Structure formats: C-alpha cells, structure tokens
Amino acid sequence: MGQKITVRLPDASSANYALCVQQTPTIMSITVLTPEQAQRTDTLYLIGCLRGLPIFQTTILPEDPGYTFSKNGMNSGVTQMILMNGKCEVLSERLVFVNGNDDAKLSVALDKTNYQKRDAVHAALVLKDSKGNPIEGNFSVSVTDDNDARIDSSESTIKSYMLLQSDLKGYIENPNSYFRPENKNASSELDILMLTQGWKRYDAKAVLAGNYAKCDTYEVDRGPVLSGRGKNFPA
C-alpha cells in the first residue's frame, strides 16, 4: 500500500513580484511580472550570479518591463537571478540554466585502425577550448570495454554533475538527458527543472543583510601539516 503524506503549502500571495525568463541560443529576456499586471512605481535592481560570483547587474526603471541582453560570453551553468528594491530587500529569485558556448573540444588520433591482442596503443590527444586554444592541465584517461562497462547515456556524467547536480538539492532523474544533442526539448525541460528543484548555494536575503553563514564544523585547511614526536636513535 502507498503512503499518504499531507504537506501544508504557504498561502498564495497577490502582492509579490515574479520573474519570467525566455531564452534563445543567443538572447535572454527577463520580464518583471507584477500582481494583476499593476503598474510599477519603484526602481528595481536585478543581479545575476553564477557559481557564487556576480556576472551582471542592472537597474530596471518603473517604465521598463524587464531586461534583455546577449548571452555572448556567458558560461554554462545554473544562474541565480535576484530581484531587489532600493532597500536591498529580495523581492523575487529565479534559477535559469544557461547553455553557453564554452565546451572544450577533445580530439583523439590512434596510430592504427585495428589492434591485435596485447598490441601497444599509441594515441595523440589534443584538448582545446571553445575558441580553439590549447588547454594546459593534468588529465586522466580511462579505457573500458563495452562488454564490461556499459554506459547509460542518460545517467550522471562529469558535465551533468559539475554544471547541474552539484548546484541543486534533491535527486535529479536522468541528469545527462538534459545535455544530449538529440533531446530537442532539453531547453524547456531544464527550465521546468529550475522552477521545481531546490537551490542549495546561498541565502541571498541573509547575505545582503550581512548575515554570513559560518562553518564551525571543520577547520580551514591551509596546507600540508606534519605532526609527531622526534626521537634520537643510537648510531
């Protein structure tokens, strides 16, 4: 038998603002919605944050319906939109997923087309950024057999974890399905996910009020630490 769970939802308010976001591959348009389409008389401020860092801020005058801007140069990931008034009071928040043109490109060239058992395999790997510039760094490569390790293309990947799962609360079903090229509905599905999934980075209202969360559980790791006791040993 199933379980019956009763959850009390907060009362609906007719006095709050809301943010409507529409995207194309190159443009993002943010509209400020007012209760019952009432005319605004106050100046508002919109801030966009990506992974805890502000990426844009703008002023929305009473006669402005919202803000439209180019997504050129924006990095991929969950972007937090914060709407405030002149008293730095948060009026509305909205999560938006941005698919930026910042994917790295990896090319692999093998020295042979076919290999025999225990043949040495020589591979040349070239990793470049979205602008075609080589990327420096330390990387690891895993080689698996399709018979032993079958990959579910909809399950978690490095990309889905870094850009999506690490920023949201709760379980996300088939996280990599939002990044598969054949999923033509990925953009609208991501937007629905942003509207329903929990957010776990920062409490913007508390931060703007100067109330910063403190981590008292673990000490700050400032570097390698050696500890012990020295003894003299006979020659």
Question: Residue 231: its pLDDT value, please?
Answer: 76
- pLDDT given at position 189: 93
The three-state secondary structure class of 34 is: coil
Q: Going by DSSP bridges, is the β-strand pair 105-110/123-128 parallel, antiparallel, or unpaired? A: antiparallel
Say how many residues make up the chain: 235
Helices (H) and strands (E) in the chain — how many of each? 3, 11
**Phi, psi values for residue 195, rounded to 5°:** -80, -15
CB 113 within 8 A of CB 132: no
User: Do 174 and 63 contact (CB within 8 A), yes or no?
Assistant: no
Q: How many C-beta neighbours within 10 Å does residue 19 have?
A: 20
Output the pLDDT for position 215: 65
pLDDT at 235: 61
Q: How far is residue 209's CA from residue 229's CA, in Å, rounded to a whole number?
A: 47
Burial class (CB in 10 A: 0-12, 13-18, 19+), 83: buried
Is there a contact between 93 and 106 (Cβ–Cβ < 8 Å)? no
For residue 234, the model assigns a pLDDT of: 65
How does DSSP classify residue 188? H
Side chain identity, residue 46: L
In this prediction, residue 96 carries a pLDDT of 94
CA distance 156 to 93: 27
Q: In the prediction, which pLDDT does 95 show?
A: 93
pLDDT tens per residue across all 235 residues of the chain: 688 999 898 887 777 889 999 998 899 999 999 887 788 889 999 999 888 788 889 999 999 999 999 988 889 999 999 999 988 888 899 999 998 888 889 999 999 989 898 899 899 999 999 889 999 888 888 888 777 777 777 788 889 999 999 889 888 999 999 999 899 999 999 999 999 887 766 677 777 777 777 766 777 777 777 788 877 766 6
The pLDDT value given to residue 102: 87
pLDDT (0 to 100) of residue 1:
65
Residue 126 confidence (pLDDT):
92
Residue 200, pLDDT score: 64
